[in-house]
């Protein structure tokens, strides 16, 4: 009681409130709750009337934590075109009119590198990923004189991404000279934009087909065999 008196507390038993300070200009109001008391829903007109009579109102947002987040398949446009938005690539893409080619500097000879050294956990991951690529038809056994080395790059989630070291091939490849867009120009085009699309290119290498005569140049060497992309 001494503490309540010191802080000028007024107890309102009817409304389950404790008012601290001046009752007409309170510094703080503590609201109690009655266990088991059901919530009463009133109309907007009733709420407006109560507020006009000096009642206090509070605005709260209710979020259902048990509701799962929407997945991409919950979008109507995605459900309408399931072949355009697959979870995984079902196989190599179809042959299109435009294919990528690997044009070499005249006089270049095939380059073949020895496989990089890997620890046991990387060898196991390599074997698993090679088997997956074989089963999905992205690669097959090769007898090409070309052969790049493979290595792993750790992702943010802790998993490992299989990468092929084509740096030596790039050195003798004639690069395309088409103009690339400037980054600052692209950012200027985004001024005022409200909606953005995110494209997952994690299987980017598997979605590009090269001309048949250049397939042998995509070959890579591993501890478990010699392979090339289709």
> Nearest to residue 116, comparing CAs of 126, 108, 106?
126
Model pTM score: 0.56
Q: What is the pLDDT of residues 126-184, one digit of tens each?
A: 999 999 889 888 899 999 999 999 999 988 888 888 999 999 999 999 988 878 888 88
Q: What are phi and psi of 186, to 5 degrees?
A: -65, -40
Sequence-distant (6+) residues with CB within 8 A of 101 are 210, 211, 213, 214
Which residue ranges make up each domain of the chain?
2-52, 88-178+196-229
The pLDDT value given to residue 203: 62
Q: What is the pLDDT of residues 94-122, one digit of tens each?
A: 777 767 889 999 999 999 999 999 999 99
Q: Does domain 88-178+196-229 have CATH number 3.10.10.10?
A: yes
> Nearest to residue 100, comparing CAs of 176, 169, 164?
176
């Amino acid at each position: 009681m001494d503490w309540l008196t010191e802080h000028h507390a007024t107890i309102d038993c009817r409304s389950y409130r404790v008012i601290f300070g001046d009752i007409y200009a309170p510094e703080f109001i503590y609201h109690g709750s009655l266990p088991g008391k059901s919530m009463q829903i009133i109309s907007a007109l009733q709420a407006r009337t109560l507020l006009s009579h000096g009642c206090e109102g509070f605005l709260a947002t209710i979020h259902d934590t048990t509701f799962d987040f929407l997945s991409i398949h919950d979008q109507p446009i995605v459900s309408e075109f399931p072949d355009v938005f697959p979870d995984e690539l079902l196989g190599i893409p179809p042959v299109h009119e435009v294919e990528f080619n690997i044009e070499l500097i005249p006089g270049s000879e095939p380059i073949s590198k020895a496989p990089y050294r890997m620890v046991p956990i990387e060898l196991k991951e390599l074997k698993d990923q090679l088997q997956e690529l074989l089963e999905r038809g992205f690669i097959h056994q090769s007898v090409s004189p070309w052969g790049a080395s493979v290595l792993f790059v750790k992702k943010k989630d802790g998993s490992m991404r299989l990468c092929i070291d084509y740096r030596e091939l790039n050195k003798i490849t004639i690069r395309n000279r088409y103009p690339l867009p400037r980054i600052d120009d692209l950012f200027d085009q985004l001024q005022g934009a409200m909606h953005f699309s995110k494209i997952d290119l994690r299987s980017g290498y598997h979605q590009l087909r090269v001309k048949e005569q250049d397939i042998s140049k995509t070959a890579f060497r591993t501890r478990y065999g010699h392979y090339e992309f289709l």
